[in-house]
Amino acid sequence: MKAHDGMYIDGAWRPAAGQDVIEVVNPADEQVLATVPAGTAADVDAAVRAARAALPGWAATPPAERAARLTALRDVLDARRDEIATTVTAELGAPLKFSQAVHAAVPIAVAGSYAELAGTYAFEEKVGNSTVYHEPIGVVGAITPWNYPLHQIVAKAAPALAAGCTIVVKPAENTPLVAQLFAEAVHEAGVPAGVFNLVTGLGPVAGQALAEHPGVDLVSFTGSTAVGRRIAAVAGAAVKKVALELGGKSANVVLPDADLTKAVNVGVANVMSNSGQTCSAWTRMLVHRDQYDEAVELAAQAAAKYGERIGPVVSARQQERVLGYIEKGVAEGARLVAGGPQAPREKGYFVSPTVFADVAPDMTIAQEEIFGPVLSILRYEDEEDALRIANGTVYGLAGAVWAADEERAVAFARRMDTGQVDINGGRFNPLAPFGGYKQSGVGRELGAHGLAEYLQTKSLQF
């Protein structure tokens, strides 16, 4: 697969400062697809300097011009959507259909939404005798994960550019190829040199250098809570703004009057899609005790159907981690009703779609983020019990509620400590704010709320 052997800095592909490379592996067959340079602090420094130099010009560009560049970017991504899908399938392992429908389509929609918002957002407002300006926060350092590799870059780069910020992106080491494709698209779209920069590399080296760099004004990070905590500490010491999109352990609450079959089938599909590597996945299904056995049976059947269709997880390390969690679930007394801890194929990092019944709320598999195709089904006594279980983790990213009576579902959702809740399978909305309560993060992405993260206010009094 085609890969650049340099970094995209100041509008061109430039040689990396060091010699080290990262091998990109196809998780479906374990073959090395390509290599990309492993960036160092020197590459990060060059990229941040380019972003800082480009900042005054881009920040002063009229919003309509920024909107035009983002529209062009959306169009380039759209023209290259097949290439995006095949690239993500190769480096992440997602089935091609899923890559087309989600990994390619969602970032195009998000880029389009920011093209529109850049042109319509109120960057200036009147408050009594003041005029308040919403100004770009400055140079953004963006560190992204591999699970939705293009979406997570676009969810940071598009609002940053719309706001008038400049940006340096350090993508995940497992999925740098679609990040390089994105840099090509930014170039093709005519975004001025230095406004967008890409440095590939390892987290503890290039990622850390970016988070620590004094020329970065805002660190926007998506990834694990453990790394997020470190980044927040580094940014806090330098009094930099930080935005964190972290882990999740979302509850899917099936209230007793819900359409059980639909709730369970959609719930299983939600957990298994992208091989369970979705931070907002509803990995804990909560079912009333009277419907529990039926739900378990339906879930086991639904998971079995996924057997053939599911892609691998991203890496050998991730496979080992997920299988370890499944073993832990068995050891702690949960009952396996689908899948299990054996790798289903000899080649590739596959994990069988797995469902656990008789999961107690305090078990490890009900508390920690597994990030694989593993569903836990928990039994509740009444709504208060369901709420206690739903809110009983350190996370609060997303969730779902199912009920025949929508008002009842909404009343329950309002009491959940979580940033997003889908009611009766509500559709993904690229304009709705996405982000976590509690240890799932700080700040919001997407739509106008996501744009506001990249702005700071200045008030002038008259």
| Residues annotated catalytic, as ranges | 245, 279
Stretch that binds ligand NAD, among 109-117, 178-186, 207-215, 284-292 (CB under 6 A): 207-215
Residue list 226-245, contact with ligand NAD (CB under 6 A): 227, 230-231, 245
- Exactly one of 71, 100, 113, 144 binds ligand NAD (CB under 6 A); that residue is 144
Residue list 370-399, contact with ligand NAD (CB under 6 A): 371, 397
Q: Output the six-digit token pair for 70.
A: 């983002």
Taking the C-alpha atoms of residue 366 and residue 283, their distance in angstroms, rounded to an integer, is 8
* Neighbour order of strands in the sheet with 284-288: 335-338, 354-357, 374-380, 284-288, 251-254, 399-402, 422-423
Phi/psi at 302 (5° precision): -65, -40
Taking the C-alpha atoms of residue 183 and residue 158, their distance in angstroms, rounded to an integer, is 12
Query: Strands 251-254 and 166-170, how do they pair?
Result: unpaired
What's the closest the beta carbon of residue 332 comes to ligand NAD, in angstroms? Answer: 21
**Site membership for ligand NAD, residue 173 (CB under 6 A):** yes
Report helix, strand or coil for 148.
coil
| Enclosing H/E stretch for 383 | helix 383-390
Q: Binding residues for ligand NAD, how many (CB under 6 A)?
A: 29
* Neighbour order of strands in the sheet with 455-461: 124-127, 130-136, 455-461
What's the closest the beta carbon of residue 440 comes to ligand NAD, in angstroms? Answer: 6
**Site membership for ligand NAD, residue 369 (CB under 6 A):** yes
Phi/psi at 53 (5° precision): -65, -35
**Site membership for ligand NAD, residue 224 (CB under 6 A):** yes
Mask for 419-438, x = binds ligand NAD (CB under 6 A): -----------------x--
What's the closest the beta carbon of residue 276 comes to ligand NAD, in angstroms? Answer: 11
Residue list 279-308, contact with ligand NAD (CB under 6 A): 279
| Contact between residue 153 and residue 142 where contact means Cβ atoms under 8 Å apart | yes
Taking the C-alpha atoms of residue 446 and residue 155, their distance in angstroms, rounded to an integer, is 6
In the bound state with ligand NAD, the residue whose beta carbon lies nearer, of 223 and 339, is: 223
What's the closest the beta carbon of residue 371 comes to ligand NAD, in angstroms? Answer: 5
Interface residues with ligand NAD (CB under 6 A) are: 143-147, 170, 172-173, 203-204, 207-208, 211, 222-224, 227, 230-231, 245-248, 279, 369, 371, 397, 436, 441
